[in-house]
Chain A
């Protein structure tokens, strides 16, 4: 499209160019003709016109003089006559000067001569008349007045001279009219001549222009035929080549530079075709190679990306300012969940580590910072991120610095491992070890105490038996016995708590166990407390140590009694079967059984302060007074529940009461069957 426009433009430009050229030539011609006319008009203006104007002035004045002279001579007013005479004298002088000018400028001398003759005659007759009138006035002694003079001779002379003057004035007037007619004729001739010349030039110009237009059209056609069409043909051929046609033919006739160019182009296109074929072969080879390489590259990229996304380790990259510039999607998710980080992409690692949710040990942070500053690799740098109020993840980062080809430091690339599980396992292991050590210690202490209590208990009992009841020391001995019994109870609790061996597992009906235990318990409940029992007999069998379950139940119910104290209150014990999803548990995924027995003990006693809620399962933690609680009860309850694969959940409101829910797995019938089979 663009090329077509250019060819049209080319034609137009050619035509306009020749049009302009022709126009310029004809204009130059016209201008020269007009210049000649202008010269003539200027000549007229400078030469003929002043003459004509002077002649016109002469004619006007001559006539005026002719008319005025007789009037002046015959006027009665002396002073007026003197003024007119002076003026007429002046006018005669002016007329003479003008005539001289005309003569100098070569005005028609015959006409001038006649005018000169008339003027001379008029002036003479005027002077004669004036002299005669003056003589008459002198004779009469008063100014001349027609009909008033006595001297007839002088009067007759004046009348004769007056007639002569009149005749001369008429002659002068005639010659002046003649001059005026000549002048107007002369001007008319001059103008008509000029007009004719101009009109003629206009026609000439029109003809020249027409010829120029025709010539321009011819030039345009020539250009179109010989240049534009060929250029267009070449352009079309080139377009075809561009569009993929491989023929090298350029449709050109004749023999000139453009057809030469067309032929050269044809040759070029042919060679191009050959080279293109070679090139295509080469390209297809290279394309295949490239496709293969690309495929490999894509595969490895996908592999890498998959690894990047699914790897349990997370990757991150720091730039040279230690800003986090890249990170794995998982880590980004974690990071985004933090309230302070909406701008994680432009966050300095130091800033990140100082976020309130992120905790780092001071020494570790120091070592990490030293590594970054010295551009060395950092390994196993541990920190933790508090993702939610209840969840903290522990992370371990390692990374290497990377440099560009000039050895310029570019940043760090590294991986982060989520070591939360490991950390938790470590914590649990530590806790277990601690509890084991504590259990061993407690067991050892209890053993020693049992040996100490043994003689006290035996001797106090024997002594008490042998002592008359009215003895003054009977009461003291009784106290010995009671205190040593209490000591024995404490030691038993400690031993029960510290017992690390597997409970004696058997299958039993949980409902029956609770029923028996609660019957015993009921007898020890004060009369101010009402005990409501609601046991579902269809709850089923559980596998466990019945004595431990019983101890657990008694512990919880005793706590309920203690929580109510001496006030009146109510304890409700319920037993029912619940499905796994109904177990009130933090993570139900930890539960492996389908059905659970729910033992619920609720009271309306003092409740548990939320501040100490997290401590109630700690061994030796008690709120009861000295000698009333060992601080081992709930710890033991929790231990028994855990050993039985159960869940213990406590909800409590201070001064309103507590609810202890124990969930114990119900054994499937097949499991019970297997167990019985084994026993046989």
Chain B
């Protein structure tokens, strides 16, 4: 069981991730945006953060950078639905993320990525 924080603005995606991660047996908490995610991290320790790339206000890259600055050991998986040209793994990894997931991904891919990140 891994303590995971999911930062995602889309409610449906949030719900689907919750279902999928819980079915894998992970401890999952949620935040709707980057600011909220960082607040949650201050309240509680997470092993892994799965964050969306494109969000209103603070986006995934900034959030990742903040997280890594405050908690260097924390693992971050960036996920993106593509668009705006920021969909390459390289960009994601440069920001400090451990892995990159291209939406839509399957539960299997998600699990593989979590295993890979930890």
Stretch of A400-408, A451-459, A580-588 at the chain-chain interface: A451-459
Most A CB contacts (10 A, CB to CB) among B17, B83, B107, B110 go to B83
- Are B82 and A466 in contact, CB atoms less than 8 angstroms apart? no
Q: Does residue B2 face the partner (Cβ distance < 8 Å to A)?
A: no
- Are B85 and A455 in contact, CB atoms less than 8 angstroms apart? no
A-B contact number at CB 8 A = 86
Give chain B residues whose Cβ lies under 8 Å from the Cβ of A454: 10, 12-13, 16, 81, 103-105
Q: Does residue B54 face the partner (Cβ distance < 8 Å to A)?
A: yes
Give chain B residues whose Cβ lies under 8 Å from the Cβ of A491: 82, 104
- Are A450 and B103 in contact, CB atoms less than 8 angstroms apart? yes
- Given the interface pairs A450-B104, A466-B23, A495-B87, the reply to whether A458 lies near B17 with Cβ below 8 Å is yes
- Are B107 and A451 in contact, CB atoms less than 8 angstroms apart? no
Q: Does residue B118 face the partner (Cβ distance < 8 Å to A)?
A: no
Q: B54 → chain A, closest Cβ, in Å?
A: 7
Main secondary structure of the interface of A (DSSP, over half): helix
Q: Does residue B20 face the partner (Cβ distance < 8 Å to A)?
A: yes
Q: Which of B10, B54, B81 contacts A446 (CB 8 A)?
A: B81
**Alpha-carbon separation in the docked complex, A495 to B83 (Å):** 7
Q: A483 → chain B, closest Cβ, in Å?
A: 12
**Alpha-carbon separation in the docked complex, A451 to B80 (Å):** 8
Q: Does residue A462 face the partner (Cβ distance < 8 Å to B)?
A: yes
Give chain B residues whose Cβ lies under 8 Å from the Cβ of A452: 12
- Given the interface pairs A447-B54, A454-B103, the reply to whether A461 lies near B108 with Cβ below 8 Å is yes
Give chain B residues whose Cβ lies under 8 Å from the Cβ of A446: 81-83
- Are B82 and A450 in contact, CB atoms less than 8 angstroms apart? yes
Q: Which of A455, A461, A499, A501 contacts B15 (CB 8 A)?
A: A455
Most B CB contacts (10 A, CB to CB) among A455, A459, A465 go to A455
Number of interface residues, chain B, beta carbon within 8 A = 26
Flag A455-479 by CB within 8 Å of B: 1 or 0 each: 1111101100110000000000000
**Alpha-carbon separation in the docked complex, A466 to B19 (Å):** 11
**Alpha-carbon separation in the docked complex, A454 to B104 (Å):** 4
Q: Does residue B84 face the partner (Cβ distance < 8 Å to A)?
A: yes
Name B87's closest neighbour in chain A (CB-CB): A495
- Are B23 and A465 in contact, CB atoms less than 8 angstroms apart? yes
Give chain A residues whose Cβ lies under 8 Å from the Cβ of B94: none
- Are A451 and B106 in contact, CB atoms less than 8 angstroms apart? no
Q: Does residue A380 face the partner (Cβ distance < 8 Å to B)?
A: no
Give chain A residues whose Cβ lies under 8 Å from the Cβ of B15: 455, 459
Give chain A residues whose Cβ lies under 8 Å from the Cβ of B106: 457-458, 461
Give chain B residues whose Cβ lies under 8 Å from the Cβ of A495: 82-83, 87
Give chain A residues whose Cβ lies under 8 Å from the Cβ of B103: 450-451, 453-454
- Are B13 and A457 in contact, CB atoms less than 8 angstroms apart? no
Flag B86-109 by CB within 8 Å of A: 1 or 0 each: 011000000000000011111110
Flag B11-46 by CB within 8 Å of A: 1 or 0 each: 011011101100100000000000000000000000
- 15 intermolecular pairs with C-beta atoms under 8 Å apart: A443-B82, A447-B81, A450-B82, A451-B103, A452-B12, A454-B12, A456-B104, A458-B17, A458-B19, A458-B104, A461-B108, A462-B20, A495-B82, A499-B87, A501-B88
Q: A443-B84, A446-B83 are in contact. List 6 more A-B contacts (CB 8 A).
A: A450-B103, A454-B105, A455-B16, A459-B16, A488-B104, A499-B87
Chain A residues packing against B (C-beta within 8 Å) = 443-444, 446-459, 461-462, 465-466, 484, 487-488, 491-492, 495, 499-501
Chain B residues packing against A (C-beta within 8 Å) = 10, 12-13, 15-17, 19-20, 23, 54, 80-85, 87-88, 102-108, 110
